[in-house]
Amino acid sequence: MINTKLSVAIHILSMVATSQHQPVTSDYIAASVNTNPVVIRRISSQLKKAGLITAQAGKPGFILLKNIEDISLLMIYQAVQTQDELFSIHNNPNPQCWIGKNIQATLDQAFLRAQQALENELAEQKLSDIIQHLSTQK
Amino acid sequence: MINTKLSVAIHILSMVATSQHQPVTSDYIAASVNTNPVVIRRISSQLKKAGLITAQAGKPGFILLKNIEDISLLMIYQAVQTQDELFSIHNNPNPQCWIGKNIQATLDQAFLRAQQALENELAEQKLSDIIQHLSTQK
DNA sequence: ATGAATTGTAACTAAAATAGTTACACATAA
DNA sequence: TTATGTGTAACTATTTTAGTTACAATTCAT
């Protein structure tokens, strides 16, 4: 199971996007996510490096740098995920065995396809879709 | 990053599928995967529950119960994975905030789509494709 | 029947990942 | 100049992951 960073990152961006009139601080976001403000700052720091938001130490709040239609879940996912590969492959299989010797390369390409299917779908979904769905909830 | 269980499970099934003349024991598989035999038995136990292989305590080796064309990576994935959901969603968001209140349901459907894209691709790939690729390596 | 080899599983361990926390430097602005 | 923020390092608790030890139960050759 993949960690909650994407989940929290989307939460952060949704709040920033829908409150651009008044500054949304990490404390305020943390209260909505229900976690520690540092967790928010840590993730927002990654979103900042990815060019999705900006912020200044001392100045409260974060500012969205793109239109919500131009931010895909894939961008957010890649901003917060450190590992490139979705699936782990066991290491040091026995090269004496023909299967052990070739399994890693084989799995690499099989897993890559699966990962790309996932990423293509994440690229389709935009922050605007999330906000749209959020606001049409009961 | 997803754990190595799928990776190891595919390795196991590849060995079982390509050595149906002589019994492939968990010790033998473990030597190729390069891990402890118990790790192999633990995963093969899950493959057994999923109806992909069979085995008998005392009797060496595992037997494939399906044609390699009829075993998809999705079947293997679902056999070894305990959690239904690919992405975690942070829990207890603040219901006082309209975003906190609706974020989980929103993320649920967004993540479900992504997961289904992944699973559709895993369903396309068969054990036979893996073995094909394995045997055409240099 | 006996004993070696094997599967099946419980229980424990070490290491890594995950999320949360404390502490504090530094920036901003009233 | 003081209160309020961001940014980040360092530490901690919990969970997950993979590996290991131990052993019951089963099969089968002798």
Write the pLDDT tens digit of every residue in B77-102. Answer: 999 999 999 999 999 999 999 999 99
At B136 the pLDDT is: 93
User: Which residues, numbered 73 to 132 in chain B, qualify as contacts with chain A under a Cβ-Cβ cut-off of 8 Å?
Assistant: 73, 83, 85-94, 97-103, 105-107, 109-110, 113-118, 120-122, 125, 129-130
pLDDT at A87 over 80: yes
Of A88, A101, A115, the CB nearest to B4: A88
Q: Which two tokens stand for residue B43?
A: 């995963």
pLDDT at A119 over 80: yes
Q: Facing residues of A63 across strands?
A: A54
Quick one: what percent of chain B has pLDDT higher than 70?
100
Alpha carbons A28 and A37: distance in angstroms, whole number = 8
* pLDDT single digits (tens) A22-33: 899 999 999 999
Q: Which two tokens stand for residue A3?
A: 């960690």
Q: Which amino acid is located at B71 in the chain?
A: I
Q: Which two tokens stand for residue A78?
A: 């890649």
Under CATH, which number does the domain A5-85+125-135 receive? 1.10.10.10
- Fold (topology level) of B5-84+126-135: Arc Repressor Mutant, subunit A (1.10.10)
Q: Which two tokens stand for residue B135?
A: 């045997």
A9 touches A33 (CB < 8 A): no
Going by C-alpha positions, the residue among A80, A76, A78 that lies closest to residue A125 is A76
Low-confidence ranges of chain B (pLDDT < 50): none
Going by C-alpha positions, the residue among A74, A73, A8, A47 that lies closest to residue B90 is A8
